[in-house]
Structure 1
Amino acid sequence: MISIKDIAKKAGVSISTVSYALNGNPKVTEETSARILKIANELNYVPNAAARTLKTRVSKIIGVYLTDFSGAFYGELLQGMKEVLNQSGYDLIVCSGSYSHQWLPQRMIDGAIVLDHSFSSEELMQLADRGHKLVVMDRELNHPNVNQVLLDNKAGASLAVEYLIEKGHRKLYVVTGPQGSYDSKQRLQAIKQTIGRSSDVVCTQIEGKFDKDSGELAAKQIIREYTEPAAVFCLNDEMAIGLYNTLAKADFRIGEQIHIIGFDNIELTEYTRPRLATIDYSKRKWGALASEQLIKLIAGETVEHERVYVTLVAGESVGDI
């Protein structure tokens, strides 16, 4: 591999002069700089990013930690992050797995955005104690080097359940997310609080995993137990779509026999007939806001915790009783 030492030898200059030229330092004359850059190009020189990062302690790369990459949810979220980061001169890499947790202490990335419940809060606090800058989207952590950009899960869940109750539904199913999910826990708390204000509502909880398969399994349970019209609140749209399709294949009338509402308003919900009711928010804005906050943290600016607000999308998948 060609090094700056090789370039210096061929150009007949010092290594430091080559370094100045490659980095555009005005200490080197334009003529000398042009000659060095030409030689570097002829030798197919590629800068050693790892060495440069060790020297400058800046990689201009941000890591985004996700639990998984499947489903329609992540595309818009990552696009929002990428747009803001690129505008500020940063690149984005998507990380998963415990090995990539070392990229922060190794200074391979300048900061991290975390939406990954498998990344423990204890580990994140240790990283923050060492000065690393973090934005969390799936938990509450109080530290000067950590900013929270959270979805208003409780408001969304309350809107969904209130909507079902207003439509006259008293028999409810709730299909949850994974046990370790912050979003699922927040939504469940709000559901229990909202149902607690209506003494005649009966609620059955079905454990899910925020994926289509979970919705399909939930649908099979509901079909087995079916005796009268019921409403189902799936805590994300991926599960709602799985449930919806399985019920439709079993000739259940959505919006008449089974009433469904989801959470996330992914693009696919627009094409369901009857249209799936859901909770909406801008995933692109959520991602963009997380990036903006992290850039401010890295720059040493003061930031306040942020919350992304939600709205109800009424759909024909929920009818009156």
Structure 2
Amino acid sequence: MATIKDIAKQAGVSISTVSYALNGSPKVTPETTERILAIAKELNYIPNAAARSLKTRETKIIGIFLTDFSGAFYGDLLQGTKETLTRKGYELIVCSGKQSHWMLPERMIDGAIILDVTFDSEDLIRYADRGHKLVVLDRELAHPNINQVLLDNKAGATLATEYLIEEGHREIYAVTGPGSSYDSKQRLQAVMQVVERTAGVQLHVIEGDFNKEGGELAAKAIMAGRRDGQAAAAVFCFNDEMAIGMMNYIAEHHSDIQVGEHIHIIGFDNMELASYSQPRLSTIDYSKRKWGALAAEQLVKLINSDAVENERIYVTLLKGKSVGTSK
């Protein structure tokens, strides 16, 4: 494998001149730079990223850590992150699993965006103490080297629950995400607050998993407890994927139950598949691409020691088909 020394020898210049030319330094004339780059290409020279990072203390690589890659949620988030980082001159790598966490303390990346429940908050604080720059999307952490770009879960859950109540429902099922999920905890807290301040509303909580199968299991449990002639039920699924799973289960196993008439389902995330559901799924909408882009913007600011403030991604209620209620 060719080295800087090989390029310098063939070009008849010093090693430092080659280094300056490869890094685009104005200390080398354009003619010399062009000649050195041509020789580097001829020799198939590949820069040593590890050596460069030791010298410059930067890799120009950002890591985003996700709990997993399943479901339809992550595409727009990653696209927004990648587009912004590309404009800023950074590459993006996507990581999942505890074994990938070592990339942060080993300084293989310049900073990290965290949407990964397997990352301990204590570890993140410890890394921040050592100077690592972090943006968290799934927890609240106060540290000068950590910025929060959080989804407004409470506002979204409040909009969803109040909408169901305004439609006349007095029995509401909440299908949550995993118990370890920050977003799910925030949404459940908001749902409970709305129910507590509204007289005559009964809440049933079913633990889900943010996957389609979780929605199917929740639908099975809800249908098993329903009685003929009972007023229309209302279900707030804490993401669209579970809501779609619930709708599919009902369509397959309870053809006499009509979504939008006998049961009202609302989701969260406004994923693309929800737009094709029949009837159109009511859901909480926000821009996942903007969320990723803003996280990237904030992280680059942290890396450059610019002032940053915690940010919040705002949500809106997207109403589907009007439904029959218990009015």
- Give me the TM-score of the superposition, normalised by structure 2: 0.94
Are the counterparts in 2 of residues 173 and 233 from structure 1 also a CA contact under 8 Å?
yes
How far apart are the structure 2 equivalents of 1:170 and 1:163? 12
What are the equivalent positions in structure 2 for 1:46-57 lying under 5 Å apart? 46-57=46-57
Are the counterparts in 2 of residues 54 and 107 from structure 1 also a CA contact under 8 Å?
no
How far apart are the structure 2 equivalents of 1:280 and 1:25? 47
TM-superposition CA deviations, 1:52-98 (whole Å, max 9, x none): 11111111111111111121111111111111111111111111122
What are the equivalent positions in structure 2 for 1:246-285 lying under 5 Å apart? 246-250=249-253, 251=255, 252-285=257-290
Are the counterparts in 2 of residues 261 and 277 from structure 1 also a CA contact under 8 Å?
yes
- Give me the TM-score of the superposition, normalised by structure 1: 0.96
* Alignment root-mean-square deviation, CA: 1.5
Secondary structure, counterpart of 1:95 in structure 2:
strand
- Report % sequence identity: 69
Secondary structure, counterpart of 2:246 in structure 1:
helix
The answer to whether structure 1 residue 119 and structure 2 residue 128 are counterparts is no
TM-superposition CA deviations, 1:158-183 (whole Å, max 9, x none): 11111111111111111100111000
The answer to whether structure 1 residue 242 and structure 2 residue 245 are counterparts is yes
How far apart are the structure 2 equivalents of 1:181 and 1:10? 58
How many equivalent pairs are there? Answer: 321
How far apart are the structure 2 equivalents of 1:285 and 1:26? 36
How far apart are the structure 2 equivalents of 1:171 and 1:14? 78
How far apart are the structure 2 equivalents of 1:286 and 1:177? 20
Are the counterparts in 2 of residues 64 and 94 from structure 1 also a CA contact under 8 Å?
yes
How far apart are the structure 2 equivalents of 1:30 and 1:292? 33
Who is 1:110 aligned against?
A: 110
How far apart are the structure 2 equivalents of 1:4 and 1:178? 52
Are the counterparts in 2 of residues 150 and 307 from structure 1 also a CA contact under 8 Å?
yes
Are the counterparts in 2 of residues 276 and 317 from structure 1 also a CA contact under 8 Å?
no
- Between stretches 205-214 and 27-36, larger displacement belongs to 27-36
How far apart are the structure 1 equivalents of 2:286 and 2:273? 15
How far apart are the structure 2 equivalents of 1:31 and 1:197? 75
Who is 1:288 aligned against?
A: 293
How far apart are the structure 2 equivalents of 1:155 and 1:319? 25
1:29 and 1:313, CA in 2 relative to 1: closer, same or farther beyond 3 A? closer
Amino acid at match of 1:313: L
What are the equivalent positions in structure 2 for 1:136-215 lying under 5 Å apart? 136-215=136-215
1:129 and 1:212, CA in 2 relative to 1: closer, same or farther beyond 3 A? same
Who is 1:231 aligned against?
A: 234
Secondary structure, counterpart of 2:169 in structure 1:
coil
How far apart are the structure 1 equivalents of 2:133 and 2:265? 40
Who is 1:216 aligned against?
A: 216
Are the counterparts in 2 of residues 164 and 318 from structure 1 also a CA contact under 8 Å?
no
Any unmatched runs of 5+ in structure 2?
A: none
How far the C-alpha of 1:240 sits from its partner, in A, is 0.4
Tell me which of 310, 314, 320 is aligned to 2:319.
Answer: 314
Amino acid at match of 2:170: R
Amino acid at match of 2:117: H
Are the counterparts in 2 of residues 274 and 317 from structure 1 also a CA contact under 8 Å?
no
How far apart are the structure 2 equivalents of 1:148 and 1:237? 24
How far apart are the structure 1 equivalents of 2:183 and 2:131? 27
1:254 and 1:297, CA in 2 relative to 1: closer, same or farther beyond 3 A? same
Are the counterparts in 2 of residues 277 and 318 from structure 1 also a CA contact under 8 Å?
no
Are the counterparts in 1 of residues 68 and 97 from structure 2 also a CA contact under 8 Å?
no
How far the C-alpha of 1:33 sits from its partner, in A, is 3.3
What are the equivalent positions in structure 2 for 1:18-167 lying under 5 Å apart? 18-167=18-167
Any unmatched runs of 5+ in structure 1?
A: none
Are the counterparts in 1 of residues 262 and 324 from structure 2 also a CA contact under 8 Å?
no
How far the C-alpha of 1:40 sits from its partner, in A, is 1.6
How far the C-alpha of 1:104 sits from its partner, in A, is 1.9
